[in-house]
Structure 1
Amino acid sequence: MTICEVRLQFQNAEQPIALRDKDLIKKIPVIAAAIEVENANWETTDTIIADPIDIPFSREAGEFLLDNIRKYKMPDNETTVNDYPEADQLSLQELKPIMELAVFFNCTVFRHAIGFVVVKKLEKESFEDITRYLGTPVVEPGRYLDEADGWVNVSEPMP
């Protein structure tokens, strides 16, 4: 059996996390691609990446992703937040960097799973809280260009 090792250096960690499980590495396309640059045959030949890969996210977000990426499946019509109990226990603020890391790593299925939990949590929030969480401004009611030119009216929000 061949070995593969890559170390991930998270921004707030003294020591990197070593990944040696090829199946786990395959679930993180950005890391798999980085290894492939060093050795295109990394799955069938021994490959050890000497330098750690800098990851601009917290170790906590990284550990959460690494601990849960294998068990989180793509949400469908039958999915509930109970399918992602670890994520459901976290706050919206704790989920945000995990979601951002999933985007950074190009982990589509995991990103959708975390996104599902985020959406379910946001359903309970006010419009203002949602826009604050998303970092988008609240657009005041008004006319923004002429309708003849394809622009839209922003009407008063529903009470």
Structure 2
Amino acid sequence: MVPKKKTSDKVPAGTGDAVDSGSTPNIASGNDPTLDPSKDPSQVVSATSETNTIHPTTWSTRVTDQLAQPASEQGTSEDPTQTPTLMEEVETLPSLKLTQITLSQHMDEVKTIHNMSCQAAQLLVKTNESNSAPEARTRTLGTQLIAIREKYLTIARASRFITPVE
């Protein structure tokens, strides 16, 4: 473990030990908080690093944080007519409005495509029905033709043996 340096052990700025010795003042408070003998250095360092940590705030975390706070802490009144609703806040955000418009357009396209596919399916059913009727009739006629040919052959064979009466 490295022994702690005292404030009297400061090294002039510009030397290699200047940062380690604490001679460079903390920009935020004016002095190095790690040199305060009444504070635990590990707590001071964690508090300092916590304040220097960048916390990205997205829209959802901001809304969640706002919903977690009472209205009095948010600076708004308890009157629900005065408090903007979540949907009102959503509608005011330009990027969400653009997304809403885009989704609406896509939904219109999806509905149009769905309607067209339903119409195509109905047309296909009608076409199959209209094609099925002639096919069925053709099969029936084919069956009748086969029966007629068989009868004709029987008649033709029988007629050979019959001599005409004169």
The interval holding the TM-score normalised by the smaller chain is: under 0.3
Higher strand share: 1
**Greater Rg over alpha carbons, structure:** 2
TM-score by length of 2: 0.19
TM-score by length of 1: 0.20
The one of the two structures with greater contact order (alpha-carbon pairs below 8 A, sep at least 6) is 1
